[in-house]
Amino acid sequence: MDIKKIGLVGTGSMGSMMSLLFAEHGCRVSIYDPSKQNRDRAIKRANDAGFGSKITAYDDYSSLCSSLDTPKVFVWSTPHGNVGDGILDSLDPYLEQGDIIIDAANEHYLNTQRRQGRAMNRGIHYIGTGVSGGYQAARAGPSLSPSGDGAGLDLVMPLLKKVAARDVEGNPCVAEIGPGGCGHYTKTVHNGIEQGILSALCEVWGIMHHGLGMKYEEIADEWEKWNKEGELRENFLVSIGVDICREIDPETKKPMLDRIKDKVVQDAEESEGTGYWTCEEAFRLHVPIPTIAAAHQFRIGSADADMRKANFDAAGGSIAQIGKIKVEDRKTFLKDLHQAMYSATLESFVQGLKLLAKADHENNWAIDFKKVIAIWRGGCIIRSEHISELLLKVYQEARKNVIKNPLSSPIIAKELKRTYPSLKRVTIKALEADMVVPSISATLEILKYITTKEGLPTTFMEAQLDYFGEHMFDLADGPGDPVTGAYHFGWKSAKSVPEPREVQKYG
């Protein structure tokens, strides 16, 4: 199907940029937003970009729908939550069998699947589509993860391939992820991985600037080297970090970083839900994601700067005394820092992909993980070429145990083992100086316990749980799968209920 007209609902920063992208690729775009200010701004951008003749604003759903071809094709770029339900309600009188909705919001996958069920009853194709890359990529070409019914995907894929980002080999960064809401789930996991990398990089920045006393330009120079070769080659977040460190505020003529408050509020103000959903899903599905979860908690903890000040005042100053990091050879330590950042980045991918695999198994989506890695090679926030090449090799093995648990791949395990000494040295130095390193230290900890065959202190925890809760345990030489143990010991009898002081087997 050659889609020539699109009804775009939502013209905020992402939507207005997407309208230009579609217009640039030959579509006539009809836009609607309940905010006249947003509509006017989008039209101004269209005129300034030379696409004014291809983009038209409408002030109600009736006129918007009348401007479209049959079948009607809509693209939504809206906030997550009940906004999408309201749009579907408003469009309902104008929808006809065969119409197509491409939901390009950062939406919770269960909302997507619920709306897909509603749309299916009307014969409408509802394609939940993750869009990654920020507003710049929405204009230049994003990474896309569409999912839904097969017939609908067949209809929209030619258009999505046309507008998607291209990887280093020129391939479009879009693929049919599967049925239901797995496209939005994939985007949620992408954003969880993103939070892990963002946190680790800001922690590295803190170590370099506050711990080592490096100037912003020095940090930029070092990161530029990282981004050109080695394990963090062509890493998007490292590359924009170089730009950020070098940016000078035109008003004050001072570094832009010096003007920015140290709080991340997108989660606390609930304009961003994907990080929370990643953590929520990990806890629900019992998948350990400490690098990502620590990053999310760090963001939340930073958000309320007034609360932090109250805590500071109550303690009579900061509990931690952040100081300088003392190293014998800064060049050697920076090499360790490079490897530690790579380790935290790779482990963020491992944790996110393990979560995606667990959800894939639960929902029978049959996701092709090679396609997921491929669409993350361009346009998106977490693109990191060396890691993508590494993961493609891993998933080409196509063994079930590797898909279920990426760390069981020798390729990944050897990389994390190789970088572990650097990660440990950096963490120790950072902790000695009271630097803030939640995601880096969480990466160190999970690598300690997730690769330990036996000897974890959880032996003692299991004994405590059996002592007070009769939760059972397995014997030291027993099975290792995560199921209730077969044994109980009579540690202390309950009142008037005597228990033998011996190991008893049940079941």
Alpha carbons 166 and 318: distance in angstroms, whole number: 47
CA 39, CA 47: separation in Å to the nearest integer?
A: 12
Q: What are phi and psi of 444, to 5 degrees?
A: -60, -45
Which residues are part of the catalytic machinery?
187, 194
Contact 238, 232 (CB under 8 A): yes
The helix (run of H) or strand (run of E) holding residue 57 is strand 55-57
In the DSSP assignment, the letter for residue 234 is T
Q: What tokens appear for 238 in the block?
A: 């490292």
Residue 16, both tokens: 């207005």
For residues 376 and 191, give the distance between their C-alpha atoms in angstroms, rounded to a whole number.
11
DSSP 29: E
- Pairing state of beta strands 55-57 and 28-32? parallel
Which helix (H) or strand (E) segment holds residue 218: the answer is helix 216-228
| DSSP strands (E only) in 77-150 | 100-103, 125-132, 143-147
Residues with Cβ within 8 Å of 325's Cβ and at least 6 positions away in sequence, in order, are 207, 211, 212, 333, 429, 430, 432, 433, 435
Q: What's the first-to-final CA gap in the chain, in angstroms?
A: 60
Q: What gap in Å lies between CA 163 and CA 144, rounded to an integer?
A: 9
Inter-residue contact 196 to 402 (CB < 8 Å): no
Measured CA to CA, the distance from residue 265 to residue 283 in angstroms comes to 23
Could you tell me if 103 and 160 are in contact, meaning their C-beta atoms sit under 8 angstroms apart?
A: no
Q: How far is CA 20 from the centre of its chain?
A: 26
Nearest-angstrom CA–CA distance, 490 and 153: 60
Contacts of 427 by beta carbon, 8 Å cutoff, 6+ apart:
340, 437, 440, 441, 444
With CA atoms as reference, report the closest residue to 377 among 388, 386, 369.
388
